[in-house]
Every structure is written in structure tokens, then in C-alpha cells.
Amino acid sequence: MSKEILWKPVSVDTGLTKYINFLKESSLYKFSNYENLHRWSVDNKDLFWRSVWDFTNIVGEYADPVIKDADIL
């Protein structure tokens, strides 16, 4: 039998993958899976939205608070 690899999955570089890599490369946050990232985004809305702002290179003036009445969300 041949040991030749016949097939391997193609790496899909989705927006989410790019965002997670951005967080890792920026030494901001490291997540082992999507569920951990989701939990962090819910528990740390201000940090999450600031990181989205930085990741997407939004042009504008960043002002606090990012989310008004974040406690009721």
C-alpha cells in the first residue's frame, strides 16, 4: 500500500478565522475554540467591540462608552 496522501482538507480562512488570528497575533486574547471566544465577547463587551474596531480598521473617532447600557444586554 502507498503512503501517499490522497486528500486533505483545505484551510478556509474565513473572517472569523482572520479575527481570531488577529487577536492571537496582537497578544490580546487567545481562544481554544469558538465557544470561548463567544463567552469572552459576551462577558467583555467593551473589549470585544474595541478589538472589532481595531480589526476592521474603522475610520472615525472612537468614543466611550462603546455600548450604552451594556449591563442590560
Structure confidence by residue, pLDDT tens digits, 33-49: 888 889 999 888 888 88
Share of the chain above pLDDT 70, in %: 77
| Inter-residue contact 43 to 37 (CB < 8 Å) | no
Say what the pTM is. Answer: 0.65
Residue 31, pLDDT > 60, answer: yes
CA 54 to chain centre: 11
Domain boundaries, the chain: 32-73
